[in-house]
Amino acid sequence: GELMLKYKIDVGNELEKAGINMYIAKTTKILSQDTLKKIKNGDTNIALESLNRICAILNMQPEDLILYEDNAEEKERLFKNFPR
């Protein structure tokens, strides 16, 4: 299934511009290397704590970073065991 949450901007690139790279992530623990890898791969399955930190680093709101895109196929998968 296609994730319905997508990054609106290149968050990895924005973090790099703000001075956050793998080395800084590893040495400061401001973001985990795993989280940074996910972001660079376009994977939005990150913890809200990580999103909170990214918003603080980039001085942005969550909606500046992430877009919810409706997807009928994914909704079907999500709700298949949900009685309605």
Question: In this structure, what DSSP letter does residue 41 have?
Answer: T
- End-to-end alpha carbon distance in the chain: 21
Residue 24 reports pLDDT greater than 60: yes
Report how far residue 28's alpha carbon sits from residue 66's, in angstroms, rounded to the nearest whole number: 25
- One-letter amino acid for residue 21 of the chain: N
Residue 83 reports pLDDT greater than 80: no
Which residue in 46, 45, 40 sits closest to 15, CA to CA? 40
Q: What is the pLDDT of residue 76?
A: 87
Residue 39's pLDDT band (boundaries 50, 70, 90)?
A: very high
Mean per-residue pLDDT, 33-57: 96
Residue 30 reports pLDDT greater than 90: yes
Residue 34 reports pLDDT greater than 90: yes
